[in-house]
Amino acid sequence: MKENDPRWLTDQLYLTPFNHLPEVRSHFDPPSSVRVHEVTLREAEQAPHVVLRPEEKLRIYDALDEMGVYSVELFPIVSADDRELALELVKKRRTAKVFFLCRFNIDEVEFALEAGADGVVVEGPGNPFVARTVLGWSEDELLRRMTEATAHAKKHGLFTNIMPWDTLRAPLPFLERAYKSVVEAGADHVTIADTFGFGLPWTVAHLVRTLRGWLPGTPVEMHAHNDWGLATSVMLSAAAAGASVVHTSTNAIGERAGNAATDEVVLGLEALLRVDTGVKTERLYPVSQLVAELTKMPVAPNKPVVGENEFLFESGQVAYLIEKIRATGRPFQSFLPEYIGRRGYGYVLGKMSGTEIVIQKLAELGLQADREQAGTILERVKAEASIRKWSLSDEVFEDLARSVLEAG
């Protein structure tokens, strides 16, 4: 393999060629592009404590549209305010399509028709045990409701995607019967929902391939929650097996442990699988920040991709490596901060810091020190950080540095 290959080495990416070995890629069958169906506008308020005002949802829609997602999802039945918002958003929609989530309920499909939604995601239990235990429905009743809602939506011209939830705990023969029934009733797409997030990536890939075999020509979508920390890998494995739409939410916000994170999935599809999503990666971080602020759900510092620690360093040795490798024109990490819309690297002063960071911080503050003074300042930094059990602010560092410099 060539060392300089744009599949893994660009001005913003420095990845591994091993992802592109024939022995690896022979297991993949991804589509040429994958659409991102963004569910933040629904799932955010299913996260405990979160409430979004209508104007905030409109602002999030605008940000997602600007970022380039294919579609968003609303659940208008929740309240009168949500129904009014749905009507307003349909009127103001731009490029990103607006889908309504509907249960196996004709009245909810009717509202989507009246509102002029681009389509519906029709959902209900996909596990006969749950349908029987919770709703008292037999398998035949469950299938009847599922197919009637599908047929009604499609008959009236709505794009119709069927998403039976708890798919992975349903018997395979039932799933075959259910998915074939809704496609016969007119479904445009079908969705696999790993509602509780326990499907292994290989399991999900197998299910995607199985559905594609059952339903030739019907696109398969993937929805997953992150209870087991697998949601991102599940989305990538689904796409690698041929799923053409992934359901994601900004900052992984959603019920319980949330959904597959938009930023992680998009980055994985674009940079690792090399599948086009239409999403502007440089908008991932700004949108993450917006949603975190509006939902009052801060992003964990160590969250992949958009967490604050992703490009923030304390280790002196690592800082030295970063600066050396940057001088060659390559990223130190797998992607540059700018690739997701962030501004460069950051360094903090603490117990793990080295002389290079001290010198850099001194320069930022307009202070000069020789190597011996910098070494003394570093010793003071380490001691102070150990006492505070945290990194030092610029103000604390400046006071400490001046005391050393003024002492001569």
- Taking only the tens place, the pLDDT of each residue in 334-392 is 999 999 999 988 889 999 998 888 988 898 889 989 889 999 999 999 999 999 999 99
Contact 299, 288 (CB under 8 A): yes
What's the pLDDT score for residue 364? 87
Q: How far apart are CA 108 and CA 402, in angstroms?
A: 68
Superfamily (CATH) of domain 31-295 = Aldolase class I (3.20.20.70)
Q: How far apart are CA 3 and CA 24, in angstroms?
A: 18
Predicted confidence pLDDT, tens digits, the chain (408 residues): 566 789 999 999 999 999 999 999 999 999 999 999 999 999 999 999 999 999 999 999 999 999 999 999 999 999 999 999 999 999 999 999 999 999 999 999 999 999 999 999 999 999 999 999 999 999 999 999 999 999 999 999 999 999 999 999 999 999 999 999 999 999 999 999 999 999 999 999 999 999 999 999 999 999 999 999 999 999 999 999 999 999 999 999 999 999 999 999 999 999 999 999 999 999 999 999 999 999 999 999 999 999 999 999 988 888 888 888 888 888 889 999 999 999 988 889 999 998 888 988 898 889 989 889 999 999 999 999 999 999 999 899 999 999 999 886
What's the pLDDT score for residue 323? 84
What's the pLDDT score for residue 315? 87
What's the pLDDT score for residue 408? 67
Q: Is the pTM of this model over 0.85?
A: yes
What's the pLDDT score for residue 191? 98
Q: How far apart are CA 167 and CA 14, in angstroms?
A: 37
What's the pLDDT score for residue 1? 57
Question: What is the number of other CB atoms lying within 10 angstroms of the CB of residue 380?
Answer: 17
Instruction: Mention every residue, 6+ apart, whose C-beta is less than 8 A from residue 221.
Output: 37, 161, 163, 189, 190, 191, 192, 243, 244, 245, 246, 247
Helices (H), 225-370: 231-240, 262-267, 284-295, 316-326, 355-364
The CA-CA-CA angle for residues 32, 38, 44, to 5°, reads 155
Contact 201, 234 (CB under 8 A): yes
Q: How far apart are CA 254 and CA 256, in angstroms?
A: 6
What's the pLDDT score for residue 406? 87
Q: At which residue do the structure tokens 């890998």 appear?
A: 233
- The domains of the chain are located at 31-295, 309-406
